[in-house]
Structure 1
């Protein structure tokens, strides 16, 4: 699952998300096995920046950085500039979780 920007008219308010998007897409496409890639919108910039935003405060999600790539059901995640590194994305998705 990727937690990232709010898309309203196809344009993102989050420049880091725009920059990371092609790296994430490439990593998902080259990952071994089958993955369900879910993009979750965190709302508009004002909602995301609010310290009480549920994406920030929920103990299971606890997102502090956009974008964030989460391997759901694990503690594994990549955040921010880590998502500009194809090797890190491929490692995250290739790791055995057992």
Structure 2
């Protein structure tokens, strides 16, 4: 009789950790970007300089909104992968006792 051994749980867990790592890096980089952009001051006291800084701050606000949605997606995706790994582990444990 032939047996095939697979380790999908390990792959699910590895994928969950990778996605979680992407989330953490994105979050750290976003915090750095927000700090840098919020420190921008107009180079001169004229309307054009003020408008340009205003535009940059508007873009940062849009980035923050989109980034928070993406981070929420990544968090949920990572959590889903981890839950699948656990479900697979439980199914394997149950199936292994069935055949003993």
| TM-score of the two chains, using structure 1 as the length reference | 0.26
- Specify which structure has the higher proportion of helix: 2
Higher relative contact order (CA 8 A, sep 6+): 2
Compare CA radii of gyration and give the structure with the larger one: 2
